[in-house]
Amino acid sequence: MTLEITLYNTAVRKKEVFVPRDPSCVTIYSCGPTVYSDPHIWNMRAYVFADTLRQTLRHVWWYTLKHIINITDVGHLTDDGDQWEDKMEKWARKEWRTVWEVARTYEEHFLEYSDALRIERFDAYTRATEHILEQINMVKELQKKWFTYVIPEDWIYMDTSKVKDYGKLANLDIQGMSSHHRGDGAQIDSSKKRQITDFALWKFSLTWTQRAMEWIFSGERSGTLLTEDVRSNLSEEEEMTRWFPGWHIECSAMAVAHLWPQFDIHTWGVDHVPVHHTNEIAQAECSLGVDNRVNYRLHCQFLQMNGSKVSKSKWDDLSIPWILEQECDPLDLRYFYMTAHYRSFLDFTWEALDVAKTSRKNMIKKIAKSFSTVIDIENHTPGSCFMALSQAIADDLDTVNVLTIMHESLAKNKKEDILDILMFDVSITKFGLLEWAQELLEKIHTNTQIPENIQKIADQRLSAKKTKDYAMADILRDQLIWLWWEVKDVADGYELMKK
């Protein structure tokens, strides 16, 4: 049976069969973290979703991938409403460190928490600070093509009136926007802009200020970081073009640098649809002169708490390190993420996380009870259960159906199906079922010594069964249960397990 994978494409608002541009290599770009603090649980849901997509394409369809994620380590305004606030600088002041120290610290933390959640390392982590020249060149290209205008001592803006189908991704009601708000609610000063939807490509630094991260835009030293040594001999032209990026330009520049002008899939959360991804499409396609630069745009829905989106500004206590300190295994959190479809709202409560924790442990116990000592999946040929799981994940990464199939199959206790589940989990869902079940088996058989009286009762029960005295066999089994031992019949006799 030939499987087709369908993905919900935000650009057309329906599920489509996935067909890569080049079957020899699927190209994916995922928006990455802004590394001014630790990620929270909604951030990591989006990365688990991206990892599930990655593993599905790699291990079910055997595609070769090139998957890029950016690291926003550059000082910038994180939305059109921040009006001078730079979160990198703000956090550096809070921690009495440089912005560079803050960026590297939280980049390392992000990688640590990704590893803990079994998010496979991406093919490249592209830092915004290492792609400044690419950003400058993209903006210069937009200037050459007359897509920009300058507000003196302010920003260089993208003129969205010149962009074909601007706002199509989000179905923006541009006429319905007020003069002070965009569709996402970010308050902006639109008094100097030509259109309310125009957005900043970069911002000039005021001559009497010195930001932690500034670059020279014009001249021979274009793209040079403005250090104290550089600043001491700036030309007049260079002094007038000290700048830092706008919110959107880095993603376009880095995607082009690493994935070529057009690629297959772009992922992140739904909050990026109305502004960031809308503007990213405009600047990238206009600078490159291409349409439909990305074939499939996938977006993960919000994780909520008390009906509100989980964010760093509202829920500082829901950062990943804080969650893991509450006796939560990272894989319990990964399981929790998959209890809802990635396009559905997921409500976080401690009770829901406890249910996920219990469900995963029950799966591990059921798997361990089905084997004697060693669980071998290397020599197993995938069967019908593996196909059913593959069909479920092929339907727009339907992890809810995947979990249903897993639990129903474990209830039937067929060893072939359990081996299928373990093979699928090792590659796709990554709940650690194999290693935890194997560890449980080793613990039982290594640390448990069977007392002589227990062994004697079990032998008597086996003899009773051989003579077909099933009533006596049941009595002896009940005796073992009362003594906190469980007996299981196997082909060559029985197995005993301490309850």
Q: What is the pLDDT of residues 414-429, one digit of tens each?
A: 999 999 999 999 999 9
436 in the same domain as 424: yes
Helix, strand, coil distribution of the chain in percent, nearest 5: 45, 15, 40
**146 and 86 within one domain:** yes
- Please report the pLDDT score of residue 395 as a whole number: 97
**Does pLDDT of 78 surpass 60?**
no
For residue 412, what pLDDT band results from cuts at 50, 70 and 90? very high
Q: What length does the chain have?
A: 499
Is the pLDDT reported for residue 183 higher than 50? no
Q: Residue 187: is its pLDDT beyond 70?
A: no
Whether residues 380 and 254 share a domain: the answer is no
Residues 267 and 336 both lie in one domain:
yes
Q: Which pLDDT value is given to residue 272?
A: 93
Q: Element (H or E) spanning 269, and its range?
A: strand 263-269
Q: Is the dihedral of CA 38, 127, 215, 226 positive or negative?
A: positive
**Is residue 58, in this structure, part of any structural domain at all?**
yes
Whether pLDDT at 86 is above 70: yes
What CATH number did the domain enclosing 331 receive? 3.40.50.620
Task: Tell me the longest C-alpha to C-alpha distance in the chain.
Answer: 103
Most confident of 27-41, 322-336, 394-408, 447-461: 394-408
To the nearest whole percent, how much of the chain has pLDDT over 70? 89
CB distance 202 to 156 below 8 Å: yes
Which pLDDT belongs to residue 341? 98
Min mean pLDDT across 125-129, 221-225, 307-311, 461-465 is at 307-311
Angle at 414 between CA 493 and CA 432, to 5 degrees: 105
Helices 99-116/41-59 angle, 10° precision: 50
6 and 140 part of one domain:
yes
CA distance 373 to 363: 17
pLDDT of res. 168: 94
Q: Which of 301, 323, 348 is the last residue of a domain?
A: 348
* CA angle centred on 381, ends 443 and 362, rounded to 5°: 35
Residue with tokens 């772009």: 266
**pLDDT at residue 140 greater than cutoff 60:** yes
Question: How do beta strands 242-245 and 493-498 pair?
Answer: unpaired
Contact present, 30 and 47 (Cβ < 8 Å): yes
d(CA 120, CA 94): 32
What tokens appear for 129 in the block?
Answer: 């600070």
By the 8 A CB rule, do 242 and 214 touch?
A: yes
Q: How confident is the model at residue 202 (pLDDT cuts 50, 70, 90)?
A: confident
Assess whether 402 and 412 both reside in one domain: yes
Q: What pLDDT does residue 238 have?
A: 73
Residue 175: pLDDT band with limits 50, 70, 90: confident
Q: Report yes or no: 245 and 128 within 8 Å, Cβ to Cβ.
A: yes
Contact 242, 225 (CB under 8 A): no
- Model pLDDT, residue 184: 45
User: Is residue 63 domain-shared with residue 126, that is, in the same domain?
Assistant: yes
pLDDT value of position 77: 56
- 3-class DSSP assignment, residue 431: coil
**Type of residue found at 353:** L
| Mean pLDDT of all residues in 171-193 | 64
Question: Which segment of 180-184, 284-288, 453-457 scores lowest on mean pLDDT?
Answer: 180-184
Q: Are residues 42 and 11 in the same domain?
A: yes
* Residue 356 counted as domain residue: no
Chain-centre distance of CA 83, in angstroms? 29
pTM: 0.85
Kindly indicate the confidence band of residue 182, based on its pLDDT and cuts at 50, 70 and 90: low
Are the CB atoms for 155 and 204 separated by under 8 Å?
Answer: yes
Greater confidence (20 vs 319) lies with: 20
- The candidate with the shortest Cα–Cα distance to 377, out of 336, 324, 416, 325, is 416
How do beta strands 148-150 and 124-127 pair? unpaired
Q: In b/e form, how buried is each residue of 406-435, taking b as 16+ CB within 10 angstroms?
A: beebbeeeeeebbbbbbbbbbebbbbbbbe
DSSP letter string, 430-446: ---HHHHHHHHHHHHHH
Verify that 156 and 259 share a domain, yes or no: yes
Q: Which of 74-78, 79-83, 327-331, 475-479 has the lowest mean pLDDT?
A: 79-83
Taking residues 71-76, report their average pLDDT. Answer: 81
**pLDDT on residue 76:** 59
pLDDT at 378: 87
The candidate with the shortest Cα–Cα distance to 382, out of 119, 66, 62, is: 62
What average pLDDT does the segment 119-146 reach? Answer: 95
Could you give the number of structural domains in the chain? Answer: 3
419 plus 472 within the same structural domain = no
- Per-residue pLDDT band for 310 (boundaries 50, 70, 90) equals low
Residue 491 falls inside a structural domain:
yes
Q: Return the higher-pLDDT residue of 486 and 419.
A: 419
Amino acid identity of residue 223, one-letter, is G
**Helices and strands of the chain, counted as H and E runs:** 17, 17
**Which one of 431, 446, 461 terminates a domain?**
446
Q: What is the dihedral of CA 224, 226, 230, 236, to 10 degrees?
A: 90
- Please tell me the least confidently modeled range out of 52-66, 176-190, 270-284, 338-352: 176-190
Please, which pLDDT band fits residue 283 given cuts at 50, 70 and 90?
A: very high
Task: Round to whole Å and give the CA distance between 425 and 132.
Answer: 40
* Direct distance between the N- and C-terminal alpha carbons of the chain, in angstroms, rounded to an integer: 43
Phi, psi torsion values for 227, nearest 5 degrees:
-85, 175
Tens digit of pLDDT for each residue in 32-72? 999 988 888 889 999 999 999 999 999 988 999 999 999 99
Does any domain span residue 189?
A: no
pLDDT bracket for residue 305 (50, 70, 90): confident
Model confidence band, residue 319 (pLDDT cutoffs 50, 70, 90): confident
Buried b (16+ CB within 10 A) or exposed e, 123-142: eeebbbbebbebbbbbbbbb
Predicted pLDDT at 241: 72
* Interacting residues of 279 by C-beta distance below 8 A, sequence separation 6+: 158, 199, 247, 248
Alpha-carbon torsion 324, 326, 332, 338, what sign? negative
Q: What percent of the chain has pLDDT over 90?
A: 56
Q: Measured between alpha carbons, how far is 171 from 397 in angstroms, rounded to an integer?
A: 25
87 with 78: CB under 8 angstroms?
A: yes
Q: Choose the final residue of a domain: 314, 348, 382.
A: 348
In a domain? residue 129: yes
Query: For position 116, what pLDDT does the model report?
Result: 94
Residue in the structure block whose two tokens are 């250090």: 227
Residue 186 in domain: no
Asked whether residue 49 falls in the same domain as residue 112, the answer is yes
Q: Is residue 470 part of a domain?
A: yes
Query: What pLDDT score was predicted for residue 178?
Result: 64
Average pLDDT, stretch 400-408?
98
Q: Are residues 340 and 401 in the same domain?
A: no
Query: Scanning the structure block, which residue is given the tokens 């640390």?
Result: 447
Q: Residue 269: what pLDDT?
A: 94
Top mean-pLDDT range of 67-76, 176-185, 283-292, 484-493:
283-292
Q: Which domain holds residue 390?
A: 363-446
CA distance 234 to 247: 26
Identify the three-state secondary structure at position 367.
Answer: helix
Name the pLDDT band for 81 (thresholds 50, 70, 90): very low
In the predicted structure, residue 82 carries a pLDDT above the cut 60: no
pLDDT at 313: 54
The values of phi and psi at residue 495, to 5°, are: -130, 145
The mean pLDDT value of the chain amounts to: 87
User: Is 358 inside a domain boundary?
Assistant: no
- How far apart are the C-alpha atoms of 99 and 92, rounded to whole Å? 5
